[in-house]
Amino acid sequence: MSHYDFSHSVDRADCRSEKWSRKNIAQVCGNEDALPFWVADMDLRACDEITSALEEENRRAVYGYRENSRLTENFISFMKARHSTDLREENIAASQGMLHSIALALNLFTKEGDRILIPFPSYHPFFDMVKANGRVVVPYYMDLTDKGFVFDWEKLKETGRTCQAILFCSPHNPTGTVFSEAELRAVLETARERDQLVLCDEIHSDLTYPQYRHTPMYKANLGIGARAITFCAPSKSFNIAGEHCAFALFSHSGLRDSFIEMQKRLYLSTIGYSAAVMAEAAYSKGLDFNEALCQALSSKADRVENYLKENCPLLTFDKPHASFVGLIDCRKIFDRVLADSRSHSELYDGERNILSHFFGQRGGICMNDGTDFGSRDFAPFVRFNFGCGDDLLEKGLSLIKKAYDWALSAD
Ligand SMILES: Cc1ncc(COP(=O)(O)O)c(C=O)c1O
C-alpha cells in the first residue's frame, strides 16, 4: 500500500490557480461557478519528498545562485530506473521548461517557411508555436473510428512527405495513447530517410500506467540515428506543473552544441532556484511517488470509464494509457447540444466552444472543448482532467451526468 494520498483533493480555490480562476472558467464554459476539470495540472498533493526538500531550503532561507550539476545526474538515474534508458551527460541539456525548449529547437533547427508535421488532435501550443515562428503547420488527422482517435501510420508517413520536421507528443496529448517501440522506430526511420528533424515532447511519459510501456524516442532512435530531440520534464510526473525545468536529449552532439550555444547567447541557461530544488528531489527521491501515482491514475481512469458506461451510455471515454486527461466522445448527443446552442444562444458563445459551454451551463462543469485541439471536427469531444481526489472526481462525474440527463430529457 502506498503511503501517498491520492484520494483527497487539495482546496485550491484561493491559491491563484489558473485552473480554478473563476474568470478563466467563465471564458472556457460560460459559467464562472462551474467546477474546473480542464487545465492539465492535478488537485492532489505534490510529492512529499519535494515538499521536504523545499522545507529544508526554507529553514536555511538562502536562495542564492545554485550549482546544478547534481540535477542532471539525478535525471539520468531516474531515466535508468523508470524507463531502462541509459543516458550520458554529453547527450543532455537542462533548460527552463518544455515549451521554451521546443520553441528554441524549432527556431534553431528549422527555418521560416519550413513545413512541420503535427498529428491532430494536438496539444494547442504546438500549432500556435509553429505558426507564431513563421513555420507552416502540416496537419495529419488521426482516423476517427468507433473506438475514438486512431493513428494510421501509413497516412502519417504520406502526409509528412514534404515536411522538414515532425513535432510529436509521446504519450499523446489529448488522447493519452502510448506508442509501441515499433511505431516510434517507423517514424524515426522515415525521418532519417527524408532527413527530417523529430521533436518529441515526452512530458506525460513518466505517468504511463503500469500495464503499458513507454519507450523514450531517444532510446528507440539508438541504432537508427535520425536527427531527433526528445524533451522530458518532472512537471507532470511529480505534480509540480507550475515549476519550469526540462531536459532535452539529443541524438547528435552537433545539435546539442548549437542548442547550448543559443541558450548561452540568450541567457536562458539558468534554472530557477525552487524549480531546481524540486526537480533534484523529484528525480533522486520521487520514484516511489511516481509509481504509486501511475497506479492511482490508472484506477481513476477505470472509474471514469465505468461510471460513464453505467450512467451515460451514449458517451464514451477514450481511456488513456497514461496521465490524467482523456477525451470524452459526445458524438451521440452532439445534435441535441447543437439544438440547445441554437434555442438558448444566450448561454453560448456563438459557434465557439459549444460543447464546453453545454457542460458548463447545463452541468456546472468546466472541461476543455475539443476544438482547442486544432479543428472544428473535434467539436463533439471534451477533454476531462481526472487528476483529483475521489470526492471531487465523483462530483465531476455527477455533473457530467447532470448535463447528459438534461440533453436526453430535452427531446
Ligand atoms: C504535451 C505538453 N507539453 C508541454 C506542456 C507544458 O510544459 P511546460 O509548462 O513545462 O512548458 C504541457 C502541459 O500541459 C503538455 O501537456
* Residue of 173, 244, 271, 373 to test ligand 1 pocket, by largest number of atoms within 8 Å of CB: 173
Pair (144, 218) in one structural domain: yes
Q: pLDDT per residue over 270-293, tens digit each?
A: 999 999 999 999 999 999 999 999
| SS3 annotation, the chain | CCCCCCCCCCCCCCCCCCCCCHHHHHHHHCCCCCEECCCCCCCCCCCHHHHHHHHHHHHHCCCCCCCCHHHHHHHHHHHHHHHCCCCCHHHEEEECCHHHHHHHHHHHHCCCCCEEEEEECCCHHHHHHHHHCCCEEEEEECEEECCEEECCHHHHHHHHHHCCEEEEECCCCCCCCCCCHHHHHHHHHHHHHHCCEEEEECCCHHHECCCCCCCCHHHHCCCCCCCEEEEECCCCCCCCCCCCCEEEEECCHHHHHHHHHHHHHCCCCCCCHHHHHHHHHHHHHCHHHHHHHHHHHHHHHHHHHHHHHHHCCCCEEECCCECCEEEEECHHHHHHHHHHHHHCHHHCECCECHHHHHHHHHCCEECEEHHHHCCHHHCCEEEEECCCCHHHHHHHHHHHHHHHHHHHHCC
Residue 163 lies in a domain: yes
pTM: 0.96
Tell me the mean pLDDT in the region 326-331: 97
Residues with CB under 6 A from ligand 1: 40, 97-99, 123, 169, 173, 201, 203, 233, 235, 244, 246
Q: What is the CATH number of the domain that holds 42?
A: 3.90.1150.10
pLDDT at 411: 64
Q: How many domains does the chain have?
A: 2
Ligand 1: centre distance to CA 339 (Å) = 35
Q: pLDDT per residue over 4-23, tens digit each?
A: 999 999 999 888 999 999 99
Residue 103 lies in a domain: yes
Domain assignment of residue 313, given as a range: 22-46+288-409
Q: pLDDT per residue over 22-69, tens digit each?
A: 999 999 999 999 999 999 999 999 999 999 999 999 999 999 999 988
Residue 315 has pLDDT above 60, yes or no: yes
Q: At which of 224, 255, 285 does a domain end?
A: 285
Ligand 1: centre distance to CA 40 (Å) = 8
Pair (36, 53) in one structural domain: no
Q: What is the CATH number of the domain that holds 213?
A: 3.40.640.10
Residue 1 has pLDDT above 90, yes or no: no
